[in-house]
Structure 1
Amino acid sequence: MESNREEAVRCLSIAQKHLSAANYSSARKFAQKSISLFETPEAIRLLASINSAEAAGGPAAASSSSTSSGAEAHPSASGSTHRRTNGSAASGGSGTAGGMGGEQREYTPEQQEVVRRVRACKVTEYYEILAVKRECEDGEIKKAYRKLALALHPDKNGAPGADEAFKLVSKAFQVLSDPQKRSIYDRSGSDPEDRSSGMASAPSAFRSFNGGGGFEGELSPEDLFNMFFGGGGPQFANGGFGGGFGPTVFTTSFGPGGFRTTRMGGGTPRQQQQQGNAEPRSMFIQLLPLIILFAFSILSALPNLFTTPPVPDPLFAWTPTSTYTTERHTGGLGVQFFVDANEIMRHPVIGAELARDGIDWRKLTAERNPAKAGPALTKFERVVDNTYTQKLYTECQAGTDRKMRLKEAEIGVFGIGTDWAKVEKISKEPIPSCDELRALGLLRS
């Protein structure tokens, strides 16, 4: 489509830069992206040049050196060119001090110490690589990366291993600056890329920094460096770091092309106004399920608002205490229990019923049925009977299980050498709770 032409041209320009730096894989990737967006003869010819250059063994490195003299080189491209030139010279055998060929790269003891410290860390010790604490804020991570990236960039630091140290720092920043990846890393302690295959990643031609502090897609160490210090890397908005996408996105490229500005997104003021008018309605639609759920909760609770809560039964005990001194017996099973007579007479239901019948438990003896019990007292005594029988069932089951364990322990596995008289004695041991249940007719013999 014609709308993709501008982006295709941008990808083609990036591919040319990678080709000049002898980075054939990246050059091929951007060339293919350019063709997929908008096919042009230039992109097809460039893709063929990339394939032939890679097959020939690196003539593009020489062309990179010749083109760099005509115009100011891109920072990341020049770093790649120097590294490639040194490697090529070393393979050619024309070495200088230290066995390295080509241009001598200078460095200071301080730069060498930074390289040594970073490379001494494990590849997944991201906090140690950036020299920050695990609980540090995003701003501290960005500040640490700025400092280390300037100290380790191959264009500024010629110490052995500076390239690898720079990549370690860039990888650490790429993980810790992304809240989701940082959370995964804090939990697992391993590279989150191994566990985030389901995360959405943008195409390489659209790598960008979002306003939430994370990176969409994958970024190379050169791209990260360029985001902080300028260059032809990813696009960033509003001329600031982490500012989010705005109406204008600036991409910079050094050389004959100068600065290039591309407008994308943002929308017109009228569109923004329409979006602002639609926001309240959209918010209401999003909250509608919660509103309905809240309304149903209120409606379901309405019946309870107009009903009287049940009155709890009086407390009682099976043995007399300083509080429960009044002895009574139920009218059903005749179970003995003890209550606080004052509490019974103050009870809003049972006490009112007894007062209506002219009965005062505070003046009664331990007779079983001093008078005919009313409905409320009958219900209370039924609760006492049920509680008592449940207690007996629990004790009876526990006693039966105990006898079974004793018999099994005495008999053993095969019964060899068993004292059967002792087994018989265990079987005949009485269980008082079971005997009482039989007396009440609640348990068969």
Structure 2
Amino acid sequence: MMEGNKDEAERCIELAERFIVEGRHDKAERFLLKAEKLYPTQKAKDLLDHLSKNSHQKCAEPEDAPRKRRTATRKEEAKTSDTEMDYPKEHVEAVQRIKKCKDYYEVLGVDKEATDSDIKKAYKKLALQLHPDKNKTPGAAEAFKAIGNAVATLTDPTKRKQYDMYGSEEERLQQQGRHGHGRGGFHEYNYTRGFEADITAEELFNMFFGGGFPSQNVYVRRGGRWQRTGENHNQVRGEHAGSYSLLLQMLPILLLIAISMMSSLFISEPIYSLLANSKFSVPKETQNLKIPYYVKENFHTEYQGSLRRLEMSVEEEYITNLRHACIREKSYRESMVWKARSYGDSVLYAKSQKIRMPSCETLQELQAKA
């Protein structure tokens, strides 16, 4: 019969450990006593001894110590309440939600079956809400870093697989009960479990919203701390100073070799240009779509090919350039519309709707002619 109660007793011990970490010693003691009745273990006895020692220490305190602690707690709560009143409610709630999360999926608000697209979409929404430039709530910077770590880990197939292998919160508690001993015999849960991005949260934000990665300010983890890649530049340069010196000495010879190879593989200049310059200064226009282009002054005497074929090449290149420009214009306009909707900014939304797309308009006109 006692063996049948073993699982229930272990569950009571796990709950007691939680309550000890939370400082709710009375509840912890009740669950430990229950565990002892169900299935006596040395671990439950040790935890009861731990609670008993803490209880004796409290008894040795002055009589007014509990009152002073309660007063200090009330002051701290009042201070926290007053501080939170200075910030928008949705900002405070967003930060507090992430503080309570147990894993990266919960941080981003997605399930474990979420696709890369779902994860990135969730990150973009949270990033605009938690960015330190907008959200000044205490803890917002840590929350912003948390969502950055989350998207960097979960969009990397290898890291995501490794992260998922660590198991659920329940499994972690079981391991903690058997092997985990931190400060005071217990440790708090850390949902990162050692998984952090190789770049800063700000650089991740810039990548998602068009800022790109600053080439000289990319952060990586070395020796357990964040470093700019540029911090080791001088050190690396010192280590390879001898190689660089040798390379500089050989540079004139290498240049001569390169020039001779280029001369042997010389390719003639193009026949036309879509932009006027010193070499292509004579304006012309295609007969079909009236596309302007420029040729050299000696074009009529030097060019022996088909003019119609040349003009078809001009029109094809011109339309290809227009299509690429149109894609960039549409992408910019859509990003501004999405940003306005995310912020709930009606003025920005109205402006984004009026953004002109000249390349797209020109492309439509040419397609109508064709």
Normalising by the residue count of structure 2, what TM-score does the alignment of the two structures yield?
0.27
Normalising by the residue count of structure 1, what TM-score does the alignment of the two structures yield?
0.23
Greater share of helix: 2
Question: Which structure's CA Rg is the greater one?
Answer: 1
